[in-house]
Amino acid sequence: MAARKADHPLQRNEKRAGTRLCYLPPPTPSAGTRSSNGVSMSWTAIARREHNRDVLRFPSDLKDREWALIKPLIPPARRGGRRRATNMRSVAEAILYIASSGCQWRILPGDFPPVSIVRGYFYAWRAIGLWQRINQLLVMAAREIEGREAQPSGHRCLGRGIPANHHRV
């Protein structure tokens, strides 16, 4: 019996060492799905081409447009030292790979910079709040695409914030 070809490379089942691994793509909106402002979210040929991640090394890699949003937020190299030899895009992609796949630091594929460098940048960027800024930028961009104001108005959030006596642990 001939094996049925998968529609998407992430939908194929693979047999490795006697275990069956099943990779499924993220859910896609159906034809009738609407965004919060009533705009139809159906997939068109243009949208599929724009969001296709098959051309990337890993599904977690950044496209040029995505990197263009994040690149200005990356801190510049320190002054007075030697030039930065590490590609910051590769570091960001390595961190996204770990976050999306759940792999451990020590089994990061060799396509990325060394684990010690990636880990060092991850902790440094976390300490300066870079990931929160990137998240805020992406949320604002998504709100603008939907035709809403970039910053939510405060009247909807009244009484739903963190209590004043709340302390981070």
Which DSSP state fits 161? S
Domain interval for residue 95? 34-75+85-150
Q: pLDDT > 70: what percent of the chain?
A: 54
pLDDT band at 62 (very low <50, low <70, confident <90, very high): confident
**Number of domains comprising the chain:** 1
3-state secondary structure string across 23-57: CCCCCCCCCCCECCCCCECCCCHHHHHHHCCCCCC
Residue 157 lies in a domain: no
Residue 62 lies in a domain: yes
Residue 159 lies in a domain: no
pLDDT band at 64 (very low <50, low <70, confident <90, very high): confident
Express each pLDDT in 76-118 by its tens digit.
Answer: 888 888 888 899 999 999 998 898 888 898 888 888 899 999 9
- Looking at per-residue pLDDT, the higher value among 48 and 117 belongs to 117
Residue 45 lies in a domain: yes
pLDDT at residue 142 in the model:
80
Contacts of 83 (CB under 8 A, 6+ apart): 77
pLDDT at residue 123 in the model:
96
Q: Is the pLDDT of residue 11 over 50?
A: no
Which DSSP state fits 71? G
Residue 169 lies in a domain: no
Residue 9 lies in a domain: no
Residue 21 lies in a domain: no
Contact predicate 26/38, CB 8 Å: no
Average pLDDT, the chain: 72
User: 22 pairs with which residues across the strands?
Assistant: 13
Contact predicate 23/15, CB 8 Å: no
Of 24-28, 31-35, 116-120, 146-150, the least confident: 24-28
Residue 57 lies in a domain: yes
> What does the alpha-carbon distance between residue 112 and residue 94 come to, in Å, rounded to a whole number?
6
Which DSSP state fits 62? P
State if pTM tops 0.85: no
> What does the alpha-carbon distance between residue 108 and residue 97 come to, in Å, rounded to a whole number?
8
Section 125-137 average pLDDT: 92
- Looking at per-residue pLDDT, the higher value among 64 and 156 belongs to 64
